[in-house]
Amino acid sequence: MKAHLKSGAPAALLFASFMFLQLIILRMGNQAGQGFLPAGQQELVYVFLQVFVICGILLHALLRSALKSSPALRATVASVLALCAVCSAYMLFAPVDSALYLAVTFIAVFCLGFTAGAVYLRMSEYCGASLPVGASMGVGYSAALLLQFLFQLQWLIRPAVAVLALGAFALLGSLILRRGPEAGEPAEVSSPGKLISACVIASALLLFTAFYSGYIHHLQVASGYGTYNVYTWPRLLMIPGMLVFGLLGDYKKGRYLPLVTLCFSVLAFLNSALAGKADAYRLNMCLYYISLSAAVAYYNLTFWHLAPGTKNPALWSAAGRMLDSLIVIPLCLVSLTEASAGVVLSLNIAALVTIIVLMAVNGDFDLSGGRTKAPDLTMSEDEALACLARRYSLTPAEMRVFRLLVLTEDKQAAIADELDLKLRTVQANVTSIYRKTGTATRSGLVQLYHDVQKQ
């Protein structure tokens, strides 16, 4: 057990530092433009914050695909992280009612999105290395929520927040810039159908939590409650929620997580629909945060597991986070609190039906373990080589050399003749292959190929 916790410590620290920074930067970003922008434009600031987050994630995925694991990519990530730290320091102490604050906010949030791409990719790599990412996510998210709840960016304690933020940036930089974990078993290829299904289910879950939040607002009005601060105690229920759902995501490869997530969503809906309005508001707030925890755990862990089996892991590892921001945009433009309670209740039902149908089609209700059973057949040559190419980011030129290295006993000179290449070009490819795969000999490459073929 101690070894299990120790192996997941870097992932937990990485996610905790990032989530803490994300929570405080977005919280400060929501204040941008106050006293400077007209009320109608001020409401759009949060929408633009989400757009900039998505753009940052997409830029990271694009650069990661172009630069792979080169020193240039590491330097770019370090520069973006440093710029984000400088912008955050300005936001923490500068007055919000200026155009400069607004501009700095958008830069900081764009850098935050770029950093999110790097963090989510690393969490996916931890997942590929068979580390307990669910528990790490739960611990990291919970620690960040607790810190935000304790401080809540009050003026008197902002120096303390600045110190914590500086420590979080330093910790995040040291963890994200170090070499990633060694890959474990070869990742199963993620089919387009799986990816599309995961996107639609995650979107439906996020929409349900939004619709449910809108319905809670109507219950609040009916119950006679005044303004309810979302940073008070019901939000703390996300802490045990994230811990439990994170551990559930590690248990038997998350086989039970989709069904449990659905059960809590249904429970929240039934309580809101059937409980007496005078007594339901506080309980619904609690159920809202628990169901939100389940939705976040679901989309994070689902895409972290699927990403290693795609052609662009940097994009798909952060797909859930992008969907989270993407869903916010139309919901901010069309306020659910202005719709009638009946309309919002109907939207809840539609979202739940969509989730149930898609989970059934996706096989999420099959708890027998058949979906995770290892295949009985040995991989073909092409399948094994394709798996290795994805796993180690080998280029097409490197793969042509790799194929002849593991399937023949030809010398490098003969391989050069076979591929109509110069000998030094083949030698450069071989050196790159050794570096990417972490092997030092040709026999090591052959063993690596046979190990993958037997999976």
**C-alpha closest to that of 211 among 321, 337, 326, 324:** 337
Round the CA-based radius of gyration of the chain to a whole number and report it: 24
Whether 116 and 181 share a structural domain: yes
Judge whether 449 and 384 are in contact, CB under 8 Å: yes
Whether 55 and 154 share a structural domain: yes
**Residue 219, pLDDT score:** 60
**Residue 4, pLDDT score:** 44
Q: Show Cβ contacts of residue 255 under 8 Å, excluding neighbours closer than 6 positions.
A: 367, 369, 371, 372
Q: In a 10 Å sphere around its CB, with 0-12 CB exposed, 13-18 middle and 19+ buried, how is residue 350 labelled? A: middle
Whether 294 and 353 share a structural domain: yes
Last residue of a domain, one of 159, 185, 211: 185
Task: Quickly list DSSP for 162-215.
Answer: HHHHHHHHHHHHHHHSSPPPPP-SPPPP--HHHHHHHHHHHHHHHHHHHHHHHH
Whether 18 and 85 share a structural domain: yes
Whether 312 and 386 share a structural domain: no
Whether 251 and 348 share a structural domain: yes
Q: Show Cβ contacts of residue 302 under 8 Å, excluding neighbours closer than 6 positions.
A: 198, 201, 202, 254, 320
Q: Show Cβ contacts of residue 26 under 8 Å, excluding neighbours closer than 6 positions.
A: 49, 109, 112
**Residue 186, pLDDT score:** 52
Whether 217 and 114 share a structural domain: no
Judge whether 28 and 84 are in contact, CB under 8 Å: no
Whether 70 and 219 share a structural domain: no
For residue 376, is it within any domain?
Answer: no
Whether 31 and 143 share a structural domain: yes
Q: In a 10 Å sphere around its CB, with 0-12 CB exposed, 13-18 middle and 19+ buried, how is residue 12 labelled? A: buried
pTM of the model: 0.76
Q: Rounded CA gap, 257 and 263, in Å? A: 10
Q: Show Cβ contacts of residue 347 under 8 Å, excluding neighbours closer than 6 positions.
A: 207, 211, 214, 336
CATH of the domain at 446: 1.10.10.10
CATH of the domain at 222: 1.20.1250
Number of neighbouring beta carbons within 10 Å of residue 310: 22
Judge whether 391 and 183 are in contact, CB under 8 Å: yes
Whether 113 and 218 share a structural domain: no
Helix (H, G, I), strand (E, B) or coil at 295: helix
H or E stretch at 172: helix 158-176
Q: How many domains, in total, are found in the chain? A: 3
**Residue 5, pLDDT score:** 44
Q: What is the pLDDT along the chain (455 residues), one digit of tens a residue?
A: 344 445 578 899 999 999 999 988 988 888 887 877 887 777 788 889 999 999 999 999 999 888 877 788 889 999 999 999 999 999 988 888 888 999 999 999 999 999 999 999 999 988 877 788 999 999 999 998 888 777 765 555 678 888 889 999 999 999 998 877 765 555 567 788 888 989 999 998 888 888 777 766 666 555 554 444 544 677 788 899 999 999 999 888 788 899 999 998 888 888 777 765 545 667 777 888 888 899 999 999 999 989 988 888 999 999 999 999 998 888 777 776 667 777 877 888 888 898 898 888 887 887 765 444 444 445 677 788 888 888 888 898 999 999 899 888 888 988 988 898 899 999 999 999 988 888 888 888 888 888 887 66
Rounded to a whole number of angstroms, the distance between the first and last alpha carbons of the chain is: 27
Measure the CA angle with vertex 352, ends 349 and 353; round to 5°: 85
Task: Quickly list DSSP for 376-444.
Answer: SSPPPHHHHHHHHHHHHT--HHHHHHHHHHHH----HHHHHHHHT--HHHHHHHHHHHHHHHT--SHHH
**Residue 255, pLDDT score:** 86
Which amino acid is present at 252? Answer: K
Q: At what angle do helices 442-453 and 396-407 cross, to 10 degrees?
A: 90
Q: Rounded CA gap, 404 and 448, in Å? A: 14
**Residue 68, pLDDT score:** 72
**C-alpha closest to that of 112 among 77, 137, 142:** 77
Helix (H, G, I), strand (E, B) or coil at 114: helix
Q: How far is CA 147 from CA 10, 150, 236, in A?
A: 19, 5, 11
Last residue of a domain, one of 337, 371, 405: 371
DSSP 32: T
**Residue 188, pLDDT score:** 66
Q: Rounded CA gap, 424 and 439, in Å? A: 20
Domain limits for position 422 = 381-453
Last residue of a domain, one of 155, 185, 215: 185
Whether 162 and 206 share a structural domain: no
Residue 110: both structure tokens together: 């764009």
For residue 10, is it within any domain?
Answer: yes
Whether 14 and 69 share a structural domain: yes
